[in-house]
Amino acid sequence: MSFLKEISPLVRNHYLSRKDVLSRRAAQITAEIQQGKRRNYNEVLELSSGDLHRGGIKPITFVRQVLAACFYPALLEDDSLPLDVKQRAESLLRECDGGSVGSYTESSGITKIKHCVSQFITRRDGGVPSSPDDIFIQSGSQTALMNMLKLLMRSEDSCRTGVLIPVPTYASFTLALEEEGAAIIPYHLCEEQGWTLQVEELRRALQAARKTCNPIALYICNPGNPTGHLQSRTSIEEVIRFAADEGLFILADEVYQSCVYGDDTEFYSYKKVLSEMGSNISSTVELASFNSVSKGFMGECGFRGGYVELVNLDSAVMKYAHTLFSTRSCPSVVGQLALDLMADPPKPGDSSFPTFSEEVQFIEHTIRKNIGRIQEVFAELPGISCQTLKAGFFVFPSLHFPPKAIKWAKKKQMEPDMLYCLHLLEETGVHVRPGCEYGQRNDSHHIRLFLGTQEDIMEDALQRLKTFHTRFMKEFS
């Protein structure tokens, strides 16, 4: 009997996911090209992940120099390293038992680094206090989010615990909810108005869900993945009031907070906005805010460093939180060190600041240029529309397929945008993600493209996509 028949449907479905199908095929095509199999392109262009370094963006020099010195302290004697690099590495090593990054740390993270993160949050929010005791460092923000789900789940309820989540949203979070046995309560973002979050839609989703589950939490992704939207301060205030009225815990995923590109736009954290509302709300609404070194200018996805800050939790609940976040071994030490560097980067006057500033500006410039080119190319193509991108690492254009293409997909027993992505990959070597992977309204179709790649790679990918899409639309018109 096949092993797959013996494992749970959840694991089996995840194993056979769209992501796996496309990723495996992309790897196969790459291997075929390396083995000399001829195609009309010589490499697969990877626009499917959210990995800056995979997209050809070089790591920040300061980050890698400090980490290199921490891993190999003999480098501290190297005159080529800037003074501030050596000072930071020495400071971090003093916080490690035995002066080694190979030692265990406290399960909630190195105390000094938690203080550094709390100071970062206070600066970000214009002086709103942050306590290290409310911060838990984890091996990535996704791990922190899953632990929060464990804390919120109420197994004694007669009906399942419900969590409101946006549609679209990234697939791994949906899977995490399923693994915890939560009831998923979808609320749709309004694409026609720039993927805005509307309280009327939250209310509709909540009222419908209360017939079948016990909703206890509201998940927000701001800036959005995959949509690239950014909530205004007014929108955040409306959502917080809604959560206060309905007794919902807010899970604010803010990992793209440093990735803001739109003109006259600004990131406001949920904590900052909450702190400036009336005391009956600011002191009662419970909030968990997440951040990570994987996103923003650092892009250090492989280091697995993230944190969650808890706001307004009852002291008795905080005891459970401390216990829950301490049940496993300490988070990745390299991830913790990277968090320290993210929270306290070089400042004007530091030896590393000129290079650091130049590298960060280059990353921002590259993404802005890619956004401009994407908008120019899509504006020329029939059957594609795209909302103005304001933040984040992704663009999520809508595909308007002819009826003939929809029928073709049904015959193949595949979602139209998944089939589109598969043929785009096969025929051009451009690897993007289908909208059906993230959830979308019925009869709507999308693709997700990663913005954080070299300009020449993006240009090549857009020209390949343009040729394919033009031919596709002509064939099925």
Please say if the pLDDT value at position 16 is more than 70: no
Q: What percent of the chain has pLDDT over 70?
A: 95
Domain-located, residue 457: yes
The highest-confidence range among 141-150, 172-181, 303-312, by mean pLDDT, is: 303-312
User: What's the CA dihedral at 379, 383, 387, 391 to 10 degrees?
Assistant: -80
- Listed residues 310, 343, 376: the one ending a domain: 343
One domain for residues 169 and 29? no
pLDDT digits (tens, 9 = 90+) for 329-367: 788 999 999 999 999 999 999 999 999 999 999 999 999
Domain-located, residue 296: yes
Taking residues 358-381, report their average pLDDT: 96
Domain-located, residue 286: yes
Domain-located, residue 187: yes
Instruction: Give the Cα separation of 257 and 57 in Å (integer).
Output: 19
One domain for residues 305 and 362? no
Domain-located, residue 399: yes
One domain for residues 120 and 227? yes
One domain for residues 284 and 394? no
One domain for residues 338 and 428? no
pLDDT digits (tens, 9 = 90+) for 229-283: 999 999 999 999 999 999 999 999 999 999 998 778 899 999 999 999 999 999 9
For residue 466, what are its two tokens?
């343009």
Please say if the pLDDT value at position 8 is more than 50: no
One domain for residues 48 and 193? no
In terms of C-beta density within 10 A (0-12 exposed, 13-18 middle, 19 or more buried), how is residue 448 classed?
buried
Q: How many helices (H) and strands (E) does the chain have?
A: 17, 14
Domain-located, residue 73: no
User: Is 66 in contact with 89 (CB distance < 8 Å)?
Assistant: yes
Mean pLDDT is lowest, of 140-149, 213-222, 250-259, 415-424, for 140-149
Please say if the pLDDT value at position 71 is more than 50: yes
User: Is 187 in contact with 164 (CB distance < 8 Å)?
Assistant: yes
One domain for residues 320 and 456? no
- Listed residues 343, 371, 391: the one ending a domain: 343
Please say if the pLDDT value at position 9 is more than 60: no
Taking residues 408-416, report their average pLDDT: 94
One domain for residues 280 and 411? no
One domain for residues 328 and 207? yes
Taking residues 32-36, report their average pLDDT: 94
What is the reported pLDDT for 5? 41
One domain for residues 121 and 189? yes
pLDDT digits (tens, 9 = 90+) for 440-472: 999 999 999 999 999 999 999 999 999 999 999
User: What's the CA dihedral at 87, 88, 91, 97 to 10 degrees?
Assistant: -130
Q: Which helix (H) or strand (E) holds 306?
A: strand 306-311
For the chain, the first-to-last Cα distance in angstroms comes to 46
- Listed residues 309, 343, 377: the one ending a domain: 343
Prediction pTM value: 0.93
Residue 233 Cα distances to 250, 267, 273, 310, angstroms:
16, 8, 7, 20
Please say if the pLDDT value at position 73 is more than 70: yes
Taking residues 45-62, report their average pLDDT: 94
Q: Report the number of distinct structural domains present in the chain.
A: 2
pLDDT digits (tens, 9 = 90+) for 77-122: 989 999 999 999 999 999 999 999 999 998 889 999 999 999 999 9
Domain-located, residue 87: no
Higher pLDDT: 127 or 181? It is: 127
One domain for residues 108 and 222? yes
Q: Per-residue confidence at 17, pLDDT binned at 50, 70, 90?
A: low
Taking residues 38-49, report their average pLDDT: 93
Taking residues 125-139, report their average pLDDT: 95
One domain for residues 180 and 141? yes
Supply the range of the domain harboring residue 50.
Answer: 3-56+357-476
What is the reported pLDDT for 265? 87
The candidate with the shortest Cα–Cα distance to 214, out of 204, 206, 225, is 206
Q: Per-residue confidence at 18, pLDDT binned at 50, 70, 90?
A: low
Please say if the pLDDT value at position 158 is more than 80: no
- Return mean pLDDT, the chain: 92
Output the domain CATH number for residue 184: 3.40.640.10
Sequence letter at residue 96: C
What is the reported pLDDT for 465? 98
Output the domain CATH number for residue 447: 3.90.1150.10
Higher pLDDT: 142 or 370? It is: 370
Domain-located, residue 65: no
